Structure 1
Amino acid sequence: MPDRPTRPNRRTLILGGGALVLGGATVAAWATRDRFEGDAMSPGDALAAARAGDILLIDIRRPDEWEATGIPEGAAPLDMRRDDFAAALSALAGAPDRPIALICARGVRSDRLSARLTEAGFTRIIDVPEGMLGSSAGPGWLARDLPVVRP
């Protein structure tokens, strides 16, 4: 006689449903951790503000990324992986209340780093969520044909 599939009992269904709910809550919490909820700026506005001296624009990408696409005009390149990143950023900013805008490739790293810097006590962090290459926030620095400088 062939094996008959067993039906789950009520306890299995309840425990399985609870596990799914808990798993979903865990994924939702992970997906929203380190999310920046402060100011944002478009690439064009960031360029204008950097040119006017109203913000310090920081390109937080890696050196190989700077080589591949160039660095936004008016931005200072500062690799976010540096052990002394916060200290180097403070030195570049000069004043603790100077507005600092962060740009990366697609807005993911700048979003997370903006949240962490805010938690670390930086008070005027601005995210450029489109990044260099574009994101769901918009086409990005390069697609907007904004100027870059070669490292």
Structure 2
Amino acid sequence: MMILRFPLKRQALALFAGLLLTACLSEAGPTLTAPEANDQARTGALTLIDIRTPEEWRQTGVAEGAVRIEMRNPKGPDGFAEAVLAEVKGDRNAPIALICRTGNRTTYMQKELEARGFTHVYNIKEGMVGSAAGPGWIKRGLPVQACKQC
């Protein structure tokens, strides 16, 4: 049996990387289930934003009432934040819920918006098609609008 021995410096670096990863994961922002987001969007309590691509919108449709703002922006996260800010009429305190395919991109963009001063950004971690966080908007039978001209 071969035992690998790493220099103390590498062990410390590995430990630091693990702690950093744990800190990043523990700072996840607030989440909503798909039904919660649907209910709040229907009553006007929040703005629901689908951050996927036009191709994805055409494939599955878009959550009813969702605003389509593609995550990929020529200006990067700043351009995305500008588009979101325009949608909420300049109010960084307006409640916003982000949805994507499976919750990965929304996790990233939630942090980007928070870093730019948005205060009420919710992540629908189960996304449109489901993830470990839940079955997803579509499987839950929540309303979807076709998006043929996206």
TM-score, scaled relative to structure 1:
0.82
1:13 aligns with 2:5: yes
Kindly state the Cα deviation for residue 112 of structure 1 after the two structures are TM-superposed.
Answer: 1.2
4+ aligned runs moved over 6 Å, structure 1: none
Which structure 2 segments of 5+ residues have no match? none
Distance 1:25 1:121, change over 3 A: same
1:20 & 1:37 partners in 2: Cα distance? Answer: 27
> Which one has the largest radius of gyration?
1
Using the aligned pairs only, state the percent identity: 36
Q: 2:88 aligns with which of 90, 93, 96?
A: 93
Kindly state the Cα deviation for residue 113 of structure 1 after the two structures are TM-superposed.
Answer: 0.8
Distance 1:34 1:85, change over 3 A: farther
Which structure 1 segments of 5+ residues have no match? 1-6
Q: CA RMSD in A?
A: 2.4
Kindly state the Cα deviation for residue 27 of structure 1 after the two structures are TM-superposed.
Answer: 5.5
Kindly state the Cα deviation for residue 86 of structure 1 after the two structures are TM-superposed.
Answer: 1.1
- Name which of structure 1's ranges 93-102 and 65-74 shifts more when overlaid on structure 2: 93-102
Query: Partner letter of residue 83 of structure 2?
Result: A
Partner of 2:120: 124
Query: Partner letter of residue 145 of structure 1?
Result: G
1:49 & 1:88 partners in 2: Cα distance? Answer: 21
Query: Partner letter of residue 92 of structure 1?
Result: E
1:36 & 1:134 partners in 2: Cα distance? Answer: 22
Partner of 1:52: 43
1:81 aligns with 2:72: yes
Query: Partner letter of residue 84 of structure 2?
Result: L
TM-score, scaled relative to structure 2:
0.82
Q: What's the CA shift string for 1:67-120, capped at 9, x where partnerless?
A: 110000010011011122111110101133210000011011101110111111
Q: Report how many residues are paired.
A: 141
2:94 & 2:45 partners in 1: Cα distance? Answer: 8
Query: Partner letter of residue 40 of structure 2?
Result: A
Partner of 1:68: 59
1:14 & 1:39 partners in 2: Cα distance? Answer: 39
Partner of 2:140: 144
